Amino acid sequence: MKKTDLEKLKGLKIAGKMNAGATPGRYGKDAAAGAERRERRKLDQARGLIPFAAKLDAELVKRLRELATERATTVDELLDELLRKGLER
Say if residue 36 is in the same domain as residue 1.
yes
Q: Give the tens place of pLDDT for each residue, 66-88.
A: 999 999 999 999 999 999 999 99
Say if residue 77 is in the same domain as residue 43.
no
Q: Give the tens place of pLDDT for each residue, 17-64.
A: 777 765 555 555 666 667 788 898 899 899 898 888 899 999 999 999
Residues 68 and 74 sit within 8 Å (Cβ to Cβ): yes
Say if residue 29 is in the same domain as residue 42.
yes
Say if residue 34 is in the same domain as residue 62.
no
C-alpha radius of gyration, the chain, whole number: 26
Q: Hey, how many other C-beta atoms are within 10 angstroms of the C-beta on 83?
A: 11
Say if residue 28 is in the same domain as residue 58.
no
Say if residue 59 is in the same domain as residue 23.
no
Name the domain count of the chain.
Answer: 2
- The pTM assigned to this predicted structure is 0.55
User: Which residue range(s) make up the domain with 76?
Assistant: 52-89
Say if residue 88 is in the same domain as residue 70.
yes
